Structure 1
Amino acid sequence: MAAATAMTVLQPEDRIKSGEQLLKFLFVYPGFYIVGRFLGHASLRKTLPFGYLFLAMFLVFQVVVEKLHVPIIFQQIDFGIGALHGTFKERNWLSSYFFLLSYWLLLRTSGERRFIPFFLLNGGVTVLTLNKTSMIACGLVFLLRSRTPLVAKFAAVFVGASLYIAVLGNEFTQEKINVKLEEERGLAFQSSIELIEKNPLGYGFGFVEAYFAKGSERIRGLGLGTNSVFAVPLDMAIIAGVFGVAFWLVFFCGVGLGFNTIITLLPIAVVTLLNPLHQSEMYYLFIGIFVSTSLKAKFVAVPLSAIRRKFGREWTSEAKRI
């Protein structure tokens, strides 16, 4: 983040809320990540204080709050009409909340049956929120974590994809795809690449919102009120060039933290290509939790009794020390 700070201070670009962005990336987001690391480590030998029953009840609560328009805790929004957002600011936040908590539960359990409540919950959330990205992450979790034969895995993914298209088919019409490519994400991707080519070192914080707010070519979803483009690596490259991409690789992909961590974070890393998750404190918190869980898993996966049977008592004291 030192490179992003330097670009912000030294380059005379128009900026919006650059100070707020600096504060978040230097202190708030790392703080949530550190808290997540602590929570993940502290919870390893304890039972999590929630389960799928709690998540199902909380989802019902979200539906009731929105249907009744409960004052204060529910606020109507002018986009995503017809999609559930409940007490959350928008539907993506609600969908992310349930995915992250259910993923934590799945990492703490074993067996193939654990995928049943995982998919039932996230499938229900997808139908209610019409969010198209969480189920992609769920499919990756299944492919990476399930021990079923490879053919059965792909058969299950095919069935899931068919249901996904059947439920969200209206979101994939030719007209909507053309809008995405020509007026939204496709155009945003093209503009982002052009910016990165002009300045590979990055433009610093607060630049994205100011640039697209005054641009001659309007891009849907960008401008005033939006401080990042849709993909995390693209946005970080605009902010800090190659150092920003390194930030994404370490925090969201787990590069440098071992293979187990990379596998654990891979579903989240893929979703960052579709959504600007680097602007969410919730994701830094849960990424910290998942990193602690994946790092510790290498040491607690084999019980001491199994070590004693295989290698003898002299190995047991060493295993205890580790």
Structure 2
Amino acid sequence: MKNQTSITSVLLMSLSDDQKTIHVLFIFFLLIYLMTVFSNFLIILLVVTCAHLHTPMYFFLGNLAFLDMSYSSVTGPSMLSHLITQHWSMSLSECIAQVFFVLYLAGSEVLLLSSMSYDRYVAICRPLHYSQLMSWCTCAKMASLVWSTPFLVCIIYMICLRRLTFCGPNLIQNFFCNLPHLFQISCTDPIINFLVLLVLAIVIGSAAFVATFYPYVRIFRAVLRIRTSDGKSKAFSTCTSHLTVVLIYYASITFIYLIPDTSNFLTLNRVVTVIYTLITPLLNPLIYSLRSKDLKAALQRALHIQRLHPDTATRR
């Protein structure tokens, strides 16, 4: 058996070898990242400051905006740094930390989307009991589960990950570290870790999947029973934004985690990964902003107040 030397760093795959293309990509992704942070922060600010947005729907939307902003910050700044310096490497500990936060935030988003689906189900199918079923106490409990459950699961999985040793080759076929990439550079058989991950994915993932999509089965049945077209249109408009976000999210993670990371799909996988990690966190606030009259009204009101009192913010 050959001697195996543990690696201390990993080498990420460059997005391009052409210098001009790299400059274009850097400007493009920098704008995407700044717009993502700004748009999601703006939603959080509106949800916190506007009294008429203090509802369960916008409470969860504020959580989604914070989650998207955090997810983009896990991969975005490091990728921009690699683009500008052209040093596509990071320490193994940094790579493992990135894996932890990617898994944690992805798991949180899965649970958060299911919570938002339940909120839409109650609003459309049980409107008379909405204030009782979606009380602030219930929302706080659901949010605590959204943020704490994936954290505990990821801590347990990171402990299991300590059994692996990494001896290379240390090349990772992407611009950031994800769990499948760690399996590829491990010189320890990762079958136990893979089985643990599979069990967790089946138990938590399938439960979250059912909790996310089953309410929409009930919603569609309820909407179809509405006789007036205006009533149907109003009911659909309250859940279209969320359903769009859900479909984009699940389509992306399905491709990334279920399609084999082979040479045939390598380029396509990297494109989908960019969309999933950088573009989707920007699309989410845009989708909600375009579909939500309340958000647009809150933004217009805030801009109108700023025009009327331009020196107020300066004095503050």
Tell me, yes or no, whether TM beats 0.5.
no
When the two structures are superposed, what TM-score results if normalisation uses the length of structure 2?
A: 0.33
More helix by share: 2
